[in-house]
Amino acid sequence: MARFILRRLLGLLPTLLVIIVISFFVIRLAPGSPFMTERGVPPEVLADLKAKYGFDQPLPTQLLRYLGNLAHGDLGLSTKYPQRTVNEIIADGFPATLLLGTAALLWALLLGVGAGIVGAVRQNTAWDYGFMAAAMVGISLPTFVLGPLLILLFALTLYVLPPAGWGSLRHVVLPALTLGTVYAAYLARLTRGSMLEVVRADFVRTARAKGLSEPAIVLHHMLRAGLLPVVTFLGPAIANLLVGSVVVEKIFATPGIGPYFVDAAFNRDYFLVMGIVVLDSVFLLIMNLLVDVAYGLLDPRIRFE
Amino acid sequence: MSDVANLPETYLRMVSREYMRHRLHRLSLHAIMSLALLALVADFVACDRPILLSFRGTLYLLPNLVDPPALRAYDNQRLADEMNPSDWAVFPPVPWGYNSHDLEAVLAPPSAQHWLGTDSGGRDVLARVVHGSRVSLAVGVLSVAVLVSIGMFIGSIAAYFGGVLDLLLMRFLEIVHAVPTILVLVTMLALIMPTGWHSVVAMMVVIGLVRWTDVARLVRGEILRIRTMPYVEAARALGAGHARILLRHILPNALAPVLVAATFAMASAILLEGALSFLGFGIPEDMASWGGMLNDVRGHTGAWWLAVFPGAAIFFTVTVYNLAGEGLRDAIDPRLRA
């Protein structure tokens, strides 16, 4: 298995390279410059600035230099915040994003998988219908609608949670609920569907016949088989949860990397945009790899080849 | 169970009968059509000019659409104030335009004047919700058209020709699929910086360019299945060329799942448009878009009507498309058919 993982990891490198090269050229060939200000910059200063960031070199040279720095883990300098490197900015914002994403993931897993199991085990009962109707609602409820509504309800009407900001665990609750609910809805439907496929499987009947308790059957026998599609969904979902909470961070003024990204795109902060895209792509690719590994662990029929 | 006496039912008939069997699916189809109709007649539902006006001896036909120069300085309120007893007008049910500022009612809660309240610029929320359906529909329909075209093209040539081309295209697909959607969209829109209706076009192209991978996968799978069928071989034996076999014999049989995917893609494109406009990248502020309206909530959290009504509009629209997609999927899936 170690060999399988190593080979797949090496296989990710070309994909990552293509993503970096494409986004590099898309960002750099677009009109606009990071040094545009309302007052305008004197030509000498502009030339100095360009030299500082290496923008005076031809693009392919810049790309090579960027890739070389990247290989050392150096993401470059921010043009918007000249005192800071992109590494520092990401290190600054990432903990908040990570905490928010993890909390949202836990909420999504608890609610989603839980509701899915109940829906499948108690198929066609009020529980089933209730959860599935709720999941339908959850899927169509975008974060930028749910977030303001939750603020209105919990912060401005009931006064139980802070409306925005960061600093204590209470601040994490609303953003995490906002971010996790849609994933919970998808998970509930997926889990229910795949659990229903094994509810009447032979191995479940065997487990029941040998006198196992119902929870043991559900948790040990059915869930393991029923989790495969869930795992497939979870890979990209986790990556999105951990890095893709731009909208939620904007709503709740969370000091994560999301708001930096939005501003960076506006300000043409080339290296910062690149840094965040690279970070997110790496996450996504690694998550997809982990999905494949988890497949082999969950389903003995799948071999690592 | 084949009935020899009757001609077999066509596939389309069968699917639509299956679809129409469920009340929820029927309702969602009606809702989709109503939304399209609303987008079409938005200027008759909410406008700051009357639909028909006889003013100082002149009869104006449809001033809500044609914008007659003589009426430039007037809106519904001024007209109503200055009309002589002999003048008459047919006002739209919502007498506010989507971009007309009522500065006497800024951030006003719902009232008899503004049924759903006003935003921070004094603009009528109901009028903006009604007109917002245009942007949603336009972005949704066009981006789905773009993504289905790209997806079908790439999926079908990959599957039909196979080999190295298939391998390369699928690698490419994986790469596009691996790029985080919202980050790419934000970056591209920030770089293009479109204005006015250009932003709608830019948005739909950009969404289409990023979101075609699911359709391509689906089409590829379908074609791989169909390609080996005897009737395709027969067509080839009769001397049909690649284009003819693909377009006439294979693709039509791969369309049903694409239609399902397109319906779901419509829902997700509307969500994406909302998210982008919410972040301030999408539709400019002077046009009405639901996501953009929600953006206004951030500065005025207490104004619940700014969150609830556009939010409900997005939620409703996305729900009916999702429901329709599910109905369609169940209807075309032969395993579920009795």
Query: Which residue ranges make up each domain of chain A?
Result: 100-256
Contacts of B190 in chain A (CB under 8 A): 265-266
- Domains detected in chain B: 48-90 (no CATH), 125-336 (1.10.3720.10)
Contact A246 B171 (CB under 8 A): no
Predicted confidence at residue B5, as pLDDT, reads 57
Contact B301 A148 (CB under 8 A): yes
For residue A141, give the chain B residue with the closest CA. B315
Contacting residues for A44 by C-beta, under 8 A, at least 6 apart:
none
Q: How far is B257 from chain A (nearest CA, A)?
A: 19
When mean pLDDT is compared across A123-132, A289-298, B247-256, the lowest value belongs to: A289-298
Residue A36 pLDDT grade (very low, low, confident, very high; cuts 50, 70, 90): low
Predicted confidence at residue A219, as pLDDT, reads 84
Residue A244 pLDDT grade (very low, low, confident, very high; cuts 50, 70, 90): low
Predicted confidence at residue B337, as pLDDT, reads 47
Which three-class secondary structure state does DSSP give residue A33?
Answer: coil
For residue A242, give the chain B residue with the closest CA. B180
Q: For residues B153 and B319, give the distance between their C-alpha atoms in angstroms, rounded to a whole number.
A: 29
For residue A144, give the chain B residue with the closest CA. B275
Q: Does A32 touch chain B (CB under 8 A)?
A: yes
Contact A247 B323 (CB under 8 A): no
Q: How far is A61 from chain B (nearest CA, A)?
A: 22
Predicted confidence at residue A189, as pLDDT, reads 92
CATH T-level topology, domain A100-256:
MetI-like fold (1.10.3720)
> Any idea which residue has 């797949």 for tokens?
A8
How many beta-carbon pairs below 8 A join chains A and B? Answer: 119
Does residue A52 register a pLDDT over 50? Answer: yes
Predicted confidence at residue A246, as pLDDT, reads 85
When mean pLDDT is compared across A24-38, A238-252, B121-135, the lowest value belongs to: A24-38
The average pLDDT across A264-279 equals 85
Predicted confidence at residue B57, as pLDDT, reads 80
Predicted confidence at residue A192, as pLDDT, reads 92
Q: How far is B252 from chain A (nearest CA, A)?
A: 29
Mean pLDDT score of chain A: 85
Report residue A203: phi and psi, to 5°.
Answer: -65, -25
Nearest to A149 among B187, B267, B311 (CB): B311
ipTM over 0.85: no
The average pLDDT across A164-173 equals 86
Q: Does A15 touch chain B (CB under 8 A)?
A: yes
Q: Which DSSP string corresponds to A134-198?
A: HHHHHHT--HHHHHHHHIIIIIIIS--S-SS--SSHHHHHHHHHHHHHHHHHHHHHHHHHHHHHH
Contact A140 B291 (CB under 8 A): no
Contact B125, B116 (CB under 8 A): yes
Residue A32 gets the label, from left (phi > 0), alpha (psi -120 to 50) or beta, of: left
Contacts of B192 in chain A (CB under 8 A): 30
For residue A30, give the chain B residue with the closest CA. B191
Predicted confidence at residue B185, as pLDDT, reads 82
Predicted confidence at residue B338, as pLDDT, reads 40
> Tell me, what amino acid is at B290?
W
Residue A113 pLDDT grade (very low, low, confident, very high; cuts 50, 70, 90): very high
Write out the two tokens for B127.
């009028």
User: B-contacting residues of A 69-88, CB under 8 Å?
Assistant: none
Q: Does A258 touch chain B (CB under 8 A)?
A: no
Residue ranges of chain B with per-residue pLDDT less than 50: 1, 337-338
Contact A276 B192 (CB under 8 A): no
Contact A140 B275 (CB under 8 A): no
Contacts of B281 in chain A (CB under 8 A): 262, 265
Does residue A38 register a pLDDT over 70? Answer: no
Predicted confidence at residue B6, as pLDDT, reads 65
The average pLDDT across A95-105 equals 92
Does residue A216 register a pLDDT over 50? Answer: yes
